[in-house]
Chains A and B, each alone.
Chain A
Amino acid sequence: MSAGSILLWVILPYAAAATFAVGLWWRYRTDQFGWTSGSTQMFESRILGWAGPAFHYGAIAAIGGHVIGLMIPKSFTDAIGMSESTYRWFSAIAGAVAGAVCAVGFVGLVYRRATNVRVRRATSRTDLGVYLLLVVLIGLGCYLTFGHNLLTKTPYDYRETMSEWWRSLFVLQPDVAAAEGANALYQIHAIIAWAFWALFPFSRLVHAFSIPVQYLGRPYILYRRRWPAASGGRRR
């Protein structure tokens, strides 16, 4: 186990996860005013009209796919009698659909950000960093899903290496060997993903935690007292 391996497969994941958690807490506590989707729809609405929903719905489906792929151990699918090829076809097709929708949407979003001067001028450096990481993440992810997975005769089974390592992180017993032996493309995908999560709290990605589900259950018209009952008032 080299120092490099420990850095990449132990220190990086925990540091990124800690940055993600602490960063989110800190940002939520100190920067409510900066917590926004940062929409540029008023500058460009036509491309966003299809690209925005495609990217977001594709991304949500892809995240769901990752959760299934990483969280459910191979032993479980074996136990319920799901063969390796059945699982692979399921994951490849579902993953390909999600990935394609997400990637098409993402290309649309990047295109409008690059070509529309108004939108480009509204792009911060953090936005650029997020876009760069997403290009690698989505590009690699799509290649691994439909290039590698569907076209190769004996595709790489990430569930025996990356998934094992990923789950081992949660029980605080990082299985470095499993990650070390993994396919290099999967390794790069994982490393970039950790960088993505570390940047997350400091970008406008935080709006993902503001999906307003409470809207479904609240009254339409909201009233607020200018001076709430003296004891319950918020004070800064």
Chain B
Amino acid sequence: MRVKAQVAMVMNLDKCIGCHTCSVTCKQVWTNRPGTEYVWFNNVETAPGQGYPRQWTDQERWRGGWELDRRGRLRLKAGGRVKKLLTIFSNPDLPTIDDYYEPWTYDYETLVTAPLSDRDPVARPHSQLTGRPMEVTWGPNWDEGLAGGPELATADPRLRGLEEQVRMTYEQAFMFFLPRICEHCLNPSCVASCPSGAMYKREEDGIVLVDQERCRGWRYCVSGCPYKKVYFNHRTGKAEKCTLCYPRIEQGQPTICSETCVGRIRYLGLVLYDADRVEAAASVPDERDLLGAQRSVFLDPEDPEVRAAARREGIPDDWLEHARRSPIYDLAIRWGVALPLHPEFRTLPMVWYVPPLSPVVSTLEADGYEADPDDVFGAIDHLRIPLAYLAGLLAAGDVEQVRGVLHRLAAMRAYMRKREVLGETDASLAAFAGLSTGELERMYRLLAIADYGDRYVIPQAHAEMGDRLLQQQGTCGLDFAGGPGNCGAVDPRPDTTSPVVPTDGERFHLVDLLEREEHRGA
């Protein structure tokens, strides 16, 4: 047993209203720079829909993630090391900018400088790549809220084989929002695809980063990631990705996307896992067993043996305490109501989702279904969002897994409704969910009330290891001069072509403190 800690996230899709606050605040903090205009470390997609970049889920086309070879061994879907080196002069699977979108801005100046006229002046869109006027024909959330209707939404690769069940007429259509960030996978195929060895997973918290100094711009991480969450900065020629806001995480603060989520849908916490079991779990032959295999990699933080092994690996005691209170362990493992996004990619993603419990379709009674307000379980199969679609999204097609989760969530709602409205405690509903009444109420508190302190249980990086913390300067992602992620001081080297006024970068309190300590000591 090789115990490692991982900072993981759960998003409760039931509560996402698609407001894009997470995307905008993330963009402001991390990718509001020349070269990353088209980059959204966090984006919100409408499902069903094509997503960003277009049709990223179709791995027959993009060849991201892992697959099993004929002998059942895990290999990169895009091919092995030799093939990568031989095709290094042109990556055959790389998305082009048009698969994302051509970034644009507006010539706002004409609004101010236009001569007096009968008509209002118009700010016209200009491409941020060529500087020329352009027609905007696609964007990162162009098909949002099923915009574009049947033409665009039906091009979702996840709808293949579901055509019979999916109606795109207004009354029968379904949709929900899917916010996405980097999955910080346990078996990251981007890291495995990087020929330069510039990408790595942090041992302490599992955050996957790109070493900006060692990246040589071969772009295999971009195509190797099945979630298309590694991006190429066309100005610097280096790969960039979601950092899980590690400078905030290190201080026990939630990521920007989580902090600013108005729907309080995001949860952050630690999980402990056995690094020795990762490869076996990713190599399970039947895709439908992947979810179970993935769950089996996690270790119970209450188990004294696990705790002893974790201590031997140098995981601090307060981290173990945080792992015990982890909302992620509760939602994903203890209660099993959160599911991983596309487990069939075999990367063991670490951002999990509570599936949406959509309204029951209004055509139920027409189908001869006796509507009984208490019979929530019978209704699960008549939800507006087809179970098969959710199963394709979150369970490698295993409908039973999704049905089980929705049953548990429905039981929780029914239990709470009875308790609040009738003042009755219906233990049979709790039993149905496989939980005690106490656990069911705790689940309700975490999902429905979602207190700040319950949602985010993040241990701080250790101050006593702080002298070593300073050494990471220059080795962590995106902390280059003018870059957004300064984990410490950098020499400002102004980019003369950038309109952004260079600053010293955000200096974090902990680093300041430690530097002062060091001065005093010296």
Residues of A whose CB lies within 8 Å of any CB of B are 32-33, 35-45, 48-50, 52-53, 55-57, 117-118, 121-122, 204, 207, 210-216, 218, 220-228, 230, 233-236
- For the complex, what is the distance from the CA of A57 to the CA of B88, rounded to whole Å? 11
Inter-chain contacts of B401 with A (CB < 8 A): none
Residue contact B85 to A216, C-beta cutoff 8 Å:
yes
Contact A45 B237 (CB under 8 A): no
* 29 A/B residue pairs, CB under 8 Å, sorted by A: A33-B213, A36-B215, A36-B216, A39-B219, A39-B232, A41-B96, A42-B94, A42-B219, A43-B234, A45-B94, A48-B90, A52-B89, A52-B90, A53-B89, A56-B89, A207-B216, A212-B85, A212-B196, A213-B85, A215-B81, A215-B197, A221-B187, A222-B191, A223-B202, A226-B202, A226-B204, A226-B205, A230-B468, A233-B468
Alpha-carbon gap, A38 to B216, bound state (A):
8
Closest to B205 in A: A226
Binds A, one of B146-154, B298-306, B471-479: B471-479
Query: What secondary structure prevails in chain A residues at the interface with B?
Result: loop
**Docked pose: A225 CA to B84 CA in angstroms:** 27
**CB < 8 Å neighbour of B469 from A36, A221, A227:** A227
* Any A CB within 8 A of the CB of B318: no
Most buried by B among A38, A221, A233, A236: A221
Chain A proximity mask over B114-143: 1 for CB below 8 Å, otherwise 0: 000000000000000111100000000000
Q: Is the CB of A117 within 8 A of B132?
A: yes
Taking CB atoms, residues of chain A closer than 8 Å to B276 are none
Would you call A37 and B469 a contact (CB within 8 A)?
A: no
Evaluate contact between A212 and B94: CB separation under 8 angstroms.
Answer: no
Closest-by-CB residue of B relative to A41 is: B94
Structural contact, B234 and A226, CB atoms closer than 8 A? no
A56–B218 alpha-carbon span in the complex (Å): 14
Q: Which chain B residue shows the least CB distance to A120?
A: B130
Query: In the complex, are the beta carbons of A222 and B200 less than 8 A apart?
Result: yes
B78-102: CB near A (< 8 Å → 1, else 0) gives: 0001101101111110111100000
Asked if B51 is an interface residue, CB under 8 A from chain A, the answer is: no
Does B269 sit at the interface, judged by CB under 8 A?
no
Task: Enumerate chain A residues within 8 angstroms of B196, measured Cβ to Cβ.
Answer: 210, 212, 215
Which A residues lie within 8 Å of B475 (CB)? 224, 234
- Which of chain A's residues have a CB closer than 8 A to the CB of B471? 227-228, 233-235
**A37 contacts which of B97, B204, B237 (Cβ < 8 Å)?**
B237
Interface size on B, residues (CB 8 A): 59
Q: Which one of A42, A210, A226 contacts B97 once the chains associate, using CB atoms below 8 Å?
A: A42
Would B130 and A118 count as touching, CB distance under 8 A?
yes
Q: Which residues of A contact B213 (CB under 8 A)?
A: 32-33, 35
B90 near A45 with CB under 8 A, answer yes
A222, B96: Cβ atoms closer than 8 Å: no
Instruction: Indicate if B199 sits at the interface (CB-CB under 8 A).
Output: yes
Say which residue of B97, B236, B469 sits within 8 Å of A118 (CB atoms).
B97
A122 touches B197 (CB 8 A): no
Give the distance in Å from the alpha carbon of A56 to the alpha carbon of B89 in the complex. 7
B237 contacts A36, CB within 8 Å? yes
Distance, CA A212 to CA B87, complexed state (A): 12
CA distance A41 to B232 in the complex (A): 10
Q: Is the Cβ of A224 less than 8 Å from the Cβ of B129?
A: no
CA distance A218 to B80 in the complex (A): 12
Chain B residue nearest in CB terms to A225: B203
